[in-house]
Amino acid sequence: MLILVIIAVVIVLGIIFVKHVDQRRWQRYQFERDMYFRQYPFQWKGLEQFGLVLNINSHTQKKLINELMLRPRASGYIKKACVQREPECANQHYAIKVTIQDLTIGYLEKKYAESFGESLDQTDFEIGRPIEINAEIIIFEKDDIDVGCRVKLDLPRDPRAARQYLIENQQQQFQEK
């Protein structure tokens, strides 16, 4: 009887150990995947439309201007921005954030984000790989003291075209290599 109890305890401890090792392995894989995605985001080049204006509040505008040390000038600044899917929240299936130099400046409009995310399902974007795009930052003076900015993103006007554009862009990059 004692031998059966010892065998049962060993089996239970073995199962717990295997689950723990597997969980650590999965966490390490997720960390390494996230680091790879951060180093090698999807590259989005060639549209140069800057047709999608991102709505950002005045606090974020000031923070962006101060962080990047931007000044008003006739032409806008072109900066690299990342568009990345956030984990699902209760009220929105696709929440897509926009960052410039690790500064979250806003989220894509809800309907656009839904269509954009659905267009890119079955890609690495769905599991968190960012898309690196160009963003045009236009600095303007609100009054004598205050400055503001407008951010335009180099994304297609029709979010459903994103998948086709991403596939074509990836093929061009492979051909260049």
Of 52, 31, 125, 53, the residue nearest 84 (C-alpha): 125
Q: What is the pLDDT of residues 120-165, one digit of tens each?
A: 888 888 888 899 999 999 988 877 778 888 999 988 888 888 888 7
Tell me if 170 sits within 8 A of 130, measured CB to CB.
no
Q: Where along the chain do its domains lie?
A: 1-40, 42-176
Task: Report the 10 Å Cβ neighbour count for 13.
Answer: 10
Lowest mean pLDDT segment, chosen from 2-16, 30-44, 66-80, 84-98: 84-98
Amino acid at 164: Q
